[in-house]
Amino acid sequence: MSTLAMGERFAELFGVPEFVVPHLSCFVSEREMDLVVIMDGQKCSVSELAVKLKCTQIQTRDLLESSYLESVVNKEECGGELVYFASHFYDRLDYLCKFDEKYQVDQELYAALNEWCYEVYADRMGPYLDKLQKREDVARAPETFELIEKLEELFDSVREIRLVPCNCRKLAGHCSRPTETCLSFDHSITDRTFGQSLTKEEAKEIVKAAHRNGLMHQVNSDWRTNGLAWMCNCCSCCCYPTRLAQERGTKGIFPVIQYVAQVDSVKCTHCGACTKRCHFSAFYVSGAETVVNGKNRRSVEFDPGKCWGCGICVETCPHEAISMRALENR
């Protein structure tokens, strides 16, 4: 098979978008492409692939395991035997964005990858969101925003913590907020969760720094009953789940909303700091004016219907006029 034909076949089997095909060498090696093409969309055992690759079983197993760790192939047990099969370009890109320090492409390609990845993510999430909206059972609990004051309680409930880069912000790049911010915990940490192991104190400092940078704290909404699985420190401009929730209008079920901000009108000086911090324009400068300390100021208003309950507005108010109230029947 010619190099061109192999590239085309690999792209077909691996779900590679057409605009990426001329740049395949940025994402996979020839050996990895050859492996996927030889598997030909089938689930294969080590012994079967050893024959096709003309390698020893030890060499084949080593290749498969390294390819598995780097999201080129997946594996599962079938009839008491371990079998391997091709992964997908979406998952390979996720690995590269998070863990491969040598991975670099130009900005134009990055932008195209972000658009494509978001479309794939939205498509994959479609059936899940449909079930949530119909109040049907789902395999995993949806996310929710948690307040920074819950940090001690959250981290007291876990044993192992792993720092994982935010692939959404790395790909989208719509803001300059930090990317080394996402955390995996305990049972959600797998052999593919590389990243950096953290102590609880180190993890708390990362979350506090994310909070200072205006990032919201999303966790699995069943963390109190089933354990904390992950924490994504999110923005609304890059974060795929938050962007999708805004587009699909799933606020309340994805993510689950636990709190709403409330404003003490006596303490509020209409300084506008909250309007710069809020990701959802719940705080906004209206056309009206108000008098503060004998001076006219444009009035700052709050629309509770636009509040997602993330709580990052609280600390930004210099006069402690904002607090969070837990919602009933959540």
CB 188 within 8 A of CB 229: yes
The answer to whether position 317 is within a domain reads yes
Domain boundary among 92, 121, 145: 92
Taking alpha carbons only, the member of 191, 314, 319, 216 closest to residue 261 is 314
CB 208 within 8 A of CB 148: yes
Residues 132 and 112 in one domain: yes
| Domain interval for residue 292 | 260-326
| Side chain identity, residue 185 | F
Taking alpha carbons only, the member of 268, 270, 261, 265 closest to residue 303 is 261
Tens digit of each residue's pLDDT (9 = 90 or more) over 75-119: 999 888 999 999 999 999 999 999 988 888 999 999 999 999 999
Which of 199-203, 226-230, 290-294 shows the lowest per-residue confidence on average (mean pLDDT)?
290-294
Domain boundary among 223, 248, 273: 248
Residues 49 and 9 in one domain: yes
Total domains in the fold of the chain: 3
Q: Record the tokens describing residue 186, joined without a space.
A: 């305990």
Q: Report residue 288's pLDDT band, with 50, 70 and 90 as the boundaries.
A: confident
Q: Record the tokens describing residue 252, joined without a space.
A: 């309340």
- Whole-number pLDDT of residue 289: 82
Q: What CATH number does residue 76 fall under? A: 1.10.10.10
Residues 79 and 21 in one domain: yes
Taking every pair of Cα atoms in the chain, the longest distance, rounded to a whole number of angstroms, is 86
Q: Report residue 329's pLDDT band, with 50, 70 and 90 as the boundaries.
A: low
Domain boundary among 40, 65, 92: 92
The percent of residues in the chain predicted with pLDDT above 70, rounded, is: 99
The answer to whether position 98 is within a domain reads no
Sequence-ordered alpha helix ranges (H) in 29-179: 30-39, 46-53, 57-69, 89-99, 107-133, 151-156, 167-172
Other Cβ atoms closer than 10 A to 224: 12
